[in-house]
Amino acid sequence: MERTETAFAKINLALHVRRREPDGYHAIETLFAFAEDGDSLSLTDAPGLSVTGPFAGALTGEGDNLVLRAARAFADLTGRSLHGGFALDKRLPVAAGIGGGSADAAAALRLLCACEGIEPTDPHIQLLAASLGADIPACLVSRAVRGEDRGDRLIPLKGVPSGLPLLLVNPMRPLATGPVFAHWDGIDRGPLDQGDPMEAARTGRNDLERPAIAILPQIGEMLTMLADKEGVLLARMSGSGATCFGLFENEAARDAAAADVARDYPEWWLLATRLR
């Protein structure tokens, strides 16, 4: 029977950059949350990785996809080779700040764990995920968590409401993470609050918004547009961009905002969904 996993889109309700470490990585504090929708990854009999979907072209010619790297690392860890491959339905834009490749790799690990009767929460699998990328441990869980250190030290969260209406918007311009962090001004603007995560999100910030806007001004336009919509609870850029999101008090408000975006910015990508 075919096994399929959703690679759930990731958002950062808040993202505080605290400092740049000597190894070049940045210490952050972030609140991860996940949409109900994302890419779709399936196990197949054919080896390798086949990619379809609206954003398949963005991966054309990619030498070493994270899905295959995750599969090789899993095989090295467990000594259990994969007989077959993967089919990826690429529905999320790439280099978009919503987890894309990290979520795909995490979905691959969940599929392989299911095949071998291993829990994805196994500490060895968590360490493997962290070795592949800082966001992958959170994507492996795909539930609301607080991330510290590089974002890969996870603390469970309670109080992020499942089912909250969510609108994702992207200007269809990829934005690489490296240049955005390189433009960060190095100023520590303080810690992310503890306690209720939604209140911490509201009083928090994304320290990468300013450098991202300097590279891609459309991000500022998206944030202003979303913040002005009726019924919006929170409007923020996710990760290092370029995707921005709005959380809404009800689906009618979200859908009205989505209709406005589709009318006024037909070239933008959008996804009306909900928090997991």
135 is catalytic: yes
* Residue type (1 letter), 57: G
Closest C-alpha to 39, from 116, 114, 122, 142? 142
Chain centre to alpha carbon of residue 41: 16
Q: Please name the helix (run of DSSP H) or strand (run of DSSP E) that holds residue 164, with its range, or none.
A: none
Residue 255, φ and ψ in degrees, nearest 5: -65, -35
| Identified catalytic residue from 39, 89, 135, 207 | 135
| Per-residue three-class SS string for 181-244 | HHCCCCCCCCCCCCCCHHHHHHHCCECCHHHHHHHCCHHHHHHHHHHCCCCEEEEEECCCCCCE
Q: Which of 10, 39, 89, 90 is catalytic?
A: 10
Compute CA distances 212 → 60, 179, 242, whole Å.
26, 8, 7
In this structure, are residues 272 and 167 in contact, taking their beta carbons and an 8 Å threshold? yes
Distance CA 172, CA 216 (A): 11
What are 69's two structure tokens? Answer: 């790297």
C-alpha dihedral, 56 to 61 to 62 to 68, nearest 10°: 80
Token couple for 214: 């300097």
Q: What is the chain's Cα-based Rg?
A: 18
Q: Could you list the active site residues?
A: 10, 135
